Amino acid sequence: MGSLFRSEEMTLCQLFLQSEASYACVSELGELGLVQFRDLNPDVNAFQRKFVNEVRRCDEMERKLRFLQKEIEKDEIPVLDTGENPDAPQPREMIDMEATFEKLENELREVNNNAEALKKNFLELTELKHILRKTQVFFDEREGGVDEVMSKNLLPPEIGAGGQLGFVAGVIARERLPAFERMLWRACRGNVFLRTAEIETPLEDPSTGDEVHKCVFIIFFQGEQLKSRVKKICEGFRATLYPCPETPAERREMALGVMTRIEDLNTVLGQTTDHRHRVLVAAAKNIRNWFTKVRKIKAIYHTLNLFNLDVTQKCLIAEAWIPVADMETIHLALRRGTERSGSSVPPILNRMDTKEEPPTYNRTNKFTGAFQNLVDAYGVAAYREVNPAPYTIITFPFLFAVMFGDCGHGLIMALFGAWMVIKEKPLQAQKSKNEIWTMFFGGRYIILLMGLFSIYTGLIYNDVFSKSFNIFGSSFKVNYGDEMILTHKQLQLNPTTRDYYGTPYPFGIDPVWQVSSNKISYLNSYKMKSSIIFGVCQMLFGVILSTWNHRFFNKPLNIWAEFIPQVIFLTFLFGYLVILVFVKWIAYDASTAGCAPRVEFQSKFYGGTGHPFVPFSFDAILDQSYTED
Amino acid sequence: MAPTIPMEEYKFNIDNGYLEGLVRGFKNGILSRNDYLNLVQCETLEDLKLHLQSTDYGNFLANEPGPLVVSTIDDKLREKLVVEFQHIRHHAVEPLSTFLDFITYGYMIDNIILLITGTLHQRPIGELISKCHPLGSFEQMEAIHVASNPAELYNAVLVDTPLAPFFVDCVTEQDLDELNVEVIRNTLYKAYLEAFYTFCEKLGGSNAEIMCEILAFEADRRAFIITINSFGTELTKDDRAKLYPRCGRLYPDGLSMLARADDYEQVRAVAEYYAMYAPLFEGAGNNPGEKTLEDKFFEYEVNLNKNAFMQQFHFGVFYSYLRLKEQECRNVVWIAECVAQRHRAKIDNYIPIF
């Protein structure tokens, strides 16, 4: 029988690999993807296994690659995905790769540090520039209207007349400003004067790259004690203080100096970012390949950790489940691996006898794989049991369509499925991480089939976006006069009279049902009966499938004790129901419909033609009057 | 009329169901005895990292460059816990949000004391801030070094924080010095513990049942530790008595007896009166092979916290999870230190949780 009918025959094999050849052989087997290894060291800790150092080195390489990738993403450089699948490199190449990554990482870290220092400098100069600009206003106020300023705040006037006010100027993050103001007020008992002005453009924080909004502030105070306290508070709130000259002339000079320094710094910063960009672009070309290679190496060493090391240290022993049909391919792969590693001793593949139950393997392609997954979600079939998947390919979408039954929506569904199937390759290359999308895309063939079958059942139910087609002309005719139609809201069309042409609508449900008020009760009866027929047929089919299992596993008792009673129960109860449904459909037409028997299930168990005993009882009467209340 | 149905339990899941489920999931990831047995077999810190990868911690150390040191492990363990706690706090509504805030006040007190002590020793504020516990950070934290005596500390810094009501007892004009700082810490903590206890009592139901027991033990433990640590210092007996939290089982008789105690034996005699504390003092000592009193207290606390998970629909699970996770961090750091220094004699002195 075909391979999808039953799961594959599997065998447990013992693999003897020479130590030098083991890496290359496992690499070849990894590319092939047909072998399931068993862990021969289950009670050994993760860090006590043989190849733990190599796994650690791979972890370290992966860390460096992740760092590089984060930097590449930060700069928004597009990463090229050529779809290449490089083989796992030889162990000696690993050292070269480690050296390359180390060099790249160090270079990048150095560039980042330099850039950060430059940006810090730039930030300071920018803040100073803003301070010089904004504090002009404050100083004007102070010098011009000393009295107004003094009377506006709570400083007693004698202090203003007494000495000169000292001041500090600085920049603080906007969100800290209210707490800062409050703290200043409390700590200095209201003896300082704070003016603030916002900086409109957000400034870039050098270490994180985030944009922060800041404010310029200037604090006037008198006396050394207040000065030290103010400075401590500023330090506590991470406000940066800048030396601000008192006279306007000095301020203008400083501003000019700051502008030139900012320009110089901009050029240097530009060059640093360019250099960093160049390094990252060069790395971005290869990073996908590197990731793949490192992951393959790590996987190989993880697998090698599962093997048993022979006492004489000459070879590694592995146990694996392999499909019998693929023995030749695996032999070839092992031979290729041995040749690649340059070893002389060929690997040995022995079949082992075992009483363990082998794993269930169903060979699928991209079309059947989705349905196999669907079946496996309910439960993986036992080893060499009949596989329900090939029948599911048709029955699952068909039963879905029986429930869906809308031609128009089915068309949309089929088009969506068809688009996903046609554009399979580019959509798959996108490697989207969105869970919902991967779910839909993984089931694209299922969706396509569901859509196609839904179109078919939609035509049968004559339901297109909840409207009906009238292709062939209805079999019902309206014989009422116009005044009847205009005055009565509901009129009856009787199939026994001239209202019905005598021949049914050729394909599907008659479109007249769409406008009838008893459409639901008619369609319900029809759909329910057809669903029961489909269901019973499918169950019978499933029970018959089990006979193949019983014959294959050579259990005749199961056939007599399980299969025969199941069939008897199913057919005599539900099969009889189905036969009754067909008989009622065929034997009775419109004229005899009045005396058609009911298709009942319960009448098989009891007749139900009696009438109840209703005694004269005060309890019953009183209960009744309570419920009426 | 139906028999008394406790109403809180029916309505608990509306606001707090998701968070309780989350915390129970986190609790299942706490390291088991098996994990600890594997960890003590590690030869280097890299082995430790490799084993932790297979636990709930996953790849938390994956991006750390260079050779691993114990302080990095400690920081990263704490970071994971902080992230989990803050996620829960951000999703919480009243009264759970107040409850979680109460938990953070304890860390705030520790941070304040750390900053004051550091300032006394002239350490730069930046270094001190990095040592503070992230769960106890508040806006005015960095400006603490402005104050030179407790009154200033209160008026300038703490009055805007949630710790203001706890500070009422210790506003004095004395300068901050070594002894005073410890007195301040214990006074703050006493007020905080009593306030937390009152809050839990008001919540009622299984909240009160479980949290009050845990907090009562915490209060009694502090009373014992303060007494034992005060022998041989300048702290007078009256001052010491003022530091005892009054929400434990020792109040009032045990506390008055402790206030009069002069040495360790008398403290032990006080503990004999209380059935649950007597076994903690038996067999406790500083000789090798014996557990210290602190370890016994930790063990008892771990037991109480494990019992909190036996009931549902109460806030105690959040508190207990935090404490158990902290104990786990302490355990892992202890083992890491023993491994790093290759001094394996006392490596088994961790306190197993599950």
Alpha-carbon distance values, B198 to A200, A516, B211, B311, B320 (Å): 48, 71, 10, 21, 18
Helix axes A444-461, A435-442, angle to 10 degrees: 70
Nearest CA-CA distance, residue B89 and chain A, Å: 21
Residues of chain A with Cβ-Cβ distance to B157 below 8 Å are 183, 186
pLDDT digits (tens, 9 = 90+) for A298-350: 999 999 999 988 777 678 899 999 999 999 999 999 998 888 888 888 888 88
Query: With an 8 Å Cβ cutoff, are A45 and B144 in contact?
Result: no
Residue B145 has its nearest CB partner, among A66, A183, A236, at A236
| Residues A617, A367: Cα–Cα separation, whole Å | 71
Residue A236 has its nearest CB partner, among B41, B143, B152, at B143
Helix axes B45-52, A52-74, angle to 10 degrees: 70
Alpha-carbon distance values, A178 to A181, A185, A237, A579, B269 (Å): 5, 11, 11, 84, 54
HSE at residue A66, side-chain half, CA atoms within 13 A, is: 12
For the record, the structure tokens of B26 come out as 């986190």
CB < 8 Å from A in window 25-54 of B:
38, 41-43, 46-47, 50-51, 53-54
In this structure, are residues B258 and B224 in contact, taking their beta carbons and an 8 Å threshold?
yes
Amino acid identity of A81? D
Residue labelled with tokens 């400098």: A121
pLDDT digits (tens, 9 = 90+) for A264-287: 999 999 999 999 999 999 888 888
* pLDDT at position A259: 92
B72 vs A: CB within 8 A: no
Q: How confident is the model at residue B307 (pLDDT cuts 50, 70, 90)?
A: very high
The least confident of A49-63, A404-418, A581-595 is A581-595
Which residue in chain A has the smallest CA separation from B54? A46
Q: How confident is the model at residue B84 (pLDDT cuts 50, 70, 90)?
A: very high
Which stretches of A553-574 are DSSP H helices? 556-558, 564-570
Annotate A189-224 with DSSP letters as a single string: TT--EEEEEE-SSPEEPTTT--EE-EEEEEEEE-SH
User: What sign does the dihedral A486-A490-A496-A500 (CA atoms) show?
Assistant: positive
Going by C-beta distance under 8 Å and a sequence separation of 6 or more, which residues neighbour residue A430? Answer: none
Query: With an 8 Å Cβ cutoff, are A232 and B143 in contact?
Result: yes
Residues of chain A with Cβ-Cβ distance to B142 below 8 Å are 235-238
* pLDDT at position B2: 45
Name residue A194's beta-bridge partners: A219
Judging by DSSP bridges, how do beta strands A10-18 and A348-352 pair with one another? antiparallel
The mean per-residue pLDDT over the stretch A568-573 comes to 93
Residue A237 has its nearest CB partner, among B41, B143, B159, at B143
Q: Is the pLDDT of residue A142 over 80?
A: no
B156 vs A: CB within 8 A: yes
Going by C-beta distance under 8 Å and a sequence separation of 6 or more, which residues neighbour residue A344? Answer: none
pLDDT digits (tens, 9 = 90+) for A490-501: 888 888 888 888
Closest CA to A170 of A144, A138, A204, A146: A138
B160 vs A: CB within 8 A: yes
In this structure, are residues A77 and A280 in contact, taking their beta carbons and an 8 Å threshold?
yes
Residue B146 has its nearest CB partner, among A52, A232, A238, at A232
ipTM attached to this prediction: 0.74
Count of pairs with CB atoms under 8 A, one residue in A, one in B: 62
Long-range own/partner contacts, residues B12-17 (CB < 8 A, 24 or more apart): B12/B313, B12/B314, B13/B313, B15/B93, B15/B96, B16/B92, B16/B96, B16/B315
* pLDDT at position B155: 75
Which of residues B223 and A183 earns the better pLDDT score?
A: B223
Q: Is the pLDDT of residue A542 over 80?
A: yes
What are the residue ranges spanned by the domains of chain A?
Answer: 521-605
What is the H or E stretch that residue A320 is in? strand A315-323
Alpha-carbon distance values, B27 to A368, B9, B212, B225 (Å): 42, 21, 21, 29
* pLDDT at position A158: 46
Residue B142 has its nearest CB partner, among A52, A182, A237, at A237
Closest CA to B157 of B103, B112, B204, B219: B112
The mean of the pLDDT values for chain B is 87
The mean per-residue pLDDT over the stretch A421-432 comes to 89
Query: With an 8 Å Cβ cutoff, are A46 and B152 in contact?
Result: no
The mean per-residue pLDDT over the stretch A255-260 comes to 91
* pLDDT at position A151: 46
pTM for this predicted structure: 0.76
Which of residues B5 and B59 earns the better pLDDT score?
A: B59
The mean per-residue pLDDT over the stretch B186-212 comes to 92
Residue A229 has its nearest CB partner, among B54, B142, B146, at B146
* pLDDT at position A1: 40
In this structure, are residues A169 and A216 in contact, taking their beta carbons and an 8 Å threshold?
yes
The least confident of A227-241, B214-228, B301-315 is A227-241
Judging by DSSP bridges, how do beta strands A10-18 and A240-242 pair with one another? unpaired
| Residues B193, A539: Cα–Cα separation, whole Å | 67
Query: With an 8 Å Cβ cutoff, are A63 and B46 in contact?
Result: no
What is the H or E stretch that residue A99 is in? helix A91-144
Query: With an 8 Å Cβ cutoff, are A236 and B144 in contact?
Result: yes
| Residues A166, A224: Cα–Cα separation, whole Å | 9
* pLDDT at position A102: 92
The least confident of A120-129, B80-89, B175-184 is B175-184
| Residues A14, A321: Cα–Cα separation, whole Å | 9
Query: With an 8 Å Cβ cutoff, are A236 and B125 in contact?
Result: yes
Residue labelled with tokens 């240097």: A268
Q: Is the pLDDT of residue B172 over 90?
A: no
In this structure, are residues B222 and B193 in contact, taking their beta carbons and an 8 Å threshold?
yes
Closest CA to B116 of B101, B135, B132, B105: B132
Q: How confident is the model at residue A147 (pLDDT cuts 50, 70, 90)?
A: very low
The mean of the pLDDT values for chain A is 87
Q: How confident is the model at residue B74 (pLDDT cuts 50, 70, 90)?
A: very high
Q: Is the pLDDT of residue A159 over 60?
A: no
Amino acid identity of B20? E
* pLDDT at position B235: 84
For residue A201, the Cα-to-chain-centroid distance in whole angstroms is 38
Residues of chain B with Cβ-Cβ distance to A237 below 8 Å are 142-143
Query: With an 8 Å Cβ cutoff, are B50 and A46 in contact?
Result: yes
Instruction: Provide the percentage of residues in chain A whose pLDDT is more than 70.
Output: 95
Nearest CA-CA distance, residue A182 and chain B, Å: 9
Q: Is the pLDDT of residue A155 over 60?
A: no
| Residues A162, A176: Cα–Cα separation, whole Å | 33
In this structure, are residues A591 and A496 in contact, taking their beta carbons and an 8 Å threshold?
yes
* pLDDT at position A415: 97
Going by C-beta distance under 8 Å and a sequence separation of 6 or more, which residues neighbour residue A383? Answer: A7, A10, A357, A358, A359, A360
Going by C-beta distance under 8 Å and a sequence separation of 6 or more, which residues neighbour residue A61? Answer: A97, A98, A101, A294
Which residue in chain B has the smallest CA separation from A231? B146
Q: How confident is the model at residue A87 (pLDDT cuts 50, 70, 90)?
A: confident
Nearest CA-CA distance, residue A287 and chain B, Å: 17
For the record, the structure tokens of A384 come out as 């060499």
Residues of chain B with Cβ-Cβ distance to A63 below 8 Å are 62-63, 65
Amino acid identity of A194? L
B140 vs A: CB within 8 A: yes
What are the residue ranges spanned by the domains of chain B?
Answer: 95-190
**Mutant choice from A43, A45, A176, A234 vs B, greatest count of B C-beta within 10 A:** A45
| Residues A283, A290: Cα–Cα separation, whole Å | 10
Closest CA to A23 of A267, A316, A351: A316
The least confident of A58-62, A121-125, A134-138 is A134-138
